[in-house]
A and B are shown apart, each in its own frame.
Chain A
Amino acid sequence: GENVEQHPSTLSVQEGDSAVIKCTYSDSASNYFPWYKQELGKGPQLIIDIRSNVGEKKDQRIAVTLNKTAKHFSLHITETQPEDSAVYFCAAPSDYKLSFGAGTTVTVRA
């Protein structure tokens, strides 16, 4: 099955700075990579995803990059704001399921 590793486990950034979270995966056949944001006490929310036929995808202040050769993908948040503080999870498909990373707790300091 798929094995997803996520780094760092915690990330503290100054408001306005950028945040980068990296994930690696093990199954070279994986072709879909979503990112989820989970706010305290709520269910994870899909914020962006990328498929293996593209190398980068942007949506306003967030972007995801994919390097299939190296089997890693990253989430980039620019111009961070206090509302970006949350736990972020990456994932990769495995049969009928998603294998999730362990999560990154992002804290944006005002």
Chain B
Amino acid sequence: EAGVAQSPRYKIIEKRQSVAFWCNPISGHATLYWYQQILGQGPKLLIQFQNNGVVDDSQLPKDRFSAERLKGVDSTLKIQPAKLEDSAVYLCASSPGLAGGSDTQYFGPGTRLTVL
């Protein structure tokens, strides 16, 4: 079974530029998560989808971050415009069950973003 795929793996941009990340979850997984992990910290949930609907986006900085999950499968996370403090690893995860359950989350390899 293929794991969670993410691209790109690395991205370097200058502040005020835009960037987009892509995630393809494990086939059949209903729930998809985007996390931000700053160096030395634990992952912080940004947004959670169940199929193609948003379950929670309370920690997403909506003035600059946006996300969508097309047809309940792939997802993109966009930052526009980027700030220096957005430098982090962006992790995508998926789980088979519905949001609110106790499923294991399977993480992708992450995208390391550096904002100069």
Say if A and B assemble together: no
Could you list which residues of chain A lie within 8 angstroms of chain B, going by C-beta atoms?
Answer: none
